[in-house]
Structure 1
Amino acid sequence: MNPVFTIENIRPIRDGMTVSRDSRLGTVNKITYFSMGAGTSISQESYDRMTMYITDAGSGTFLLGEEPKNVFATPGTALIVPEKTLCGMQTENGLVYTGIIFEKENIMNANVKTNEVFALKDLISYEEGSIANMDVASNPSMKYVLMAFDEGTGLTPHRAPGNAIVFALEGKATIGYEGIDYEISAGECFRFEKNGLHSVTANGRFKMALLLVLE
């Protein structure tokens, strides 16, 4: 089975329906894939924990607060919503997104503002001959990290202490996983299991997000 995939393929849009699917990555931080059919909506609700929404395909509007502020989201963008903040969604043409409900104690990067949609790939810059890292949000059981690989750089084979998903944001890379090489391009994802031996080699410049669950 090829571990390269898109969220849209895992949870395809169905006409007139909203559908959710558990990622099965962890239990302390709830990570769910959602799809919304054209013309559908999800009523506003709030959580006692911080949430993050990552748009994977399509487009839609998030409605924030008691007097709703509308923010528009497109693929490759994200939105962080503070605890106890009402949030709903609506879409004209269909929307696929990943929702993360964090555990209560989190550290958030100072460059990220809540209640504002931001382009993930624009948060981090390339550094000559280097690999740049930026933690967007983290807690003792999860990390959401951005990485920018300059041309000719890569990570040597290693094992991670948790289940993880790589979200390719820009460019292309080769991911080595348990002795097999896989090509990944912007818009695609790659999942590897806890302690799976893997490497990342940039094919040109490459940006990615890493969701690592330490449970």
Structure 2
Amino acid sequence: MDGKFFKNIEFAKKLALKEEVTYAKGQVVSKTLVQTDNVSITLFSFDKGEEISAHSAPGDALVYVMEGEVTITIGDNAPEVVTEGNFIVMPANISHALEATEKFKMMLIVVKG
């Protein structure tokens, strides 16, 4: 069974999102689930100490932490520690950075107009 928008994932089967991406020592691992002109959904796993340096995105980006903990800095705001089960939204075109204070997994949803 093939879908129109989702990829790299089984259809018509109950799945655990955090099991769909695995950890790799000293790396950031990603798995794209949706990639269209207006929406992207990607799963990530970060080993402890891995980071994504300051950058911006053309759409609003929601980070949902599925496991572990990350420190996220958005614009000039104080860093936020985001833990399992919580999420944060990073506004379009505003600089943001992520640092894995411990191993963590996240789902990133980016929406553009």
TM-score (ref. length: structure 2): 0.91
Cα deviations across residues 1-44 of structure 1 (Å, max 9, x unaligned)? Answer: xxxxxxxxxxxxxxxxxxxxxxxxxxxxxxxxxxxxxxxxxxxx
Do the aligned partners of 1:106 and 1:138 also contact (CA within 8 Å) in 2? yes
* 2:20 aligned residue: 123
Q: 2:37 aligns with which of 129, 137, 140?
A: 140
Taking the aligned partners of 1:115 and 1:157, their CA distance within structure 2 comes to: 38
Matches within 5 A, 1:9-88: none
1:192 deviates by: 1.2
Cα deviations across residues 120-155 of structure 1 (Å, max 9, x unaligned)? Answer: 110011111011111012212110000100011011
Q: 2:5 aligns with which of 82, 90, 106?
A: 106
Q: How many residues align?
A: 110
Runs (5+) with no aligned partner, structure 2: none
Structure with the bigger RCO (C-alpha within 8 Å, sep 6+) is 2
* 1:197 aligned residue: 95
Larger radius of gyration: 1
Taking the aligned partners of 2:44 and 2:109, their CA distance within structure 1 comes to: 11
1:107 deviates by: 5.0
* 2:108 aligned residue: 210
SS in structure 2 opposite 1:121?
helix
Do the aligned partners of 1:107 and 1:139 also contact (CA within 8 Å) in 2? no
RMSD across aligned positions (CA): 1.3
Runs (5+) with no aligned partner, structure 1: 1-81, 83-104
* 2:81 aligned residue: 183
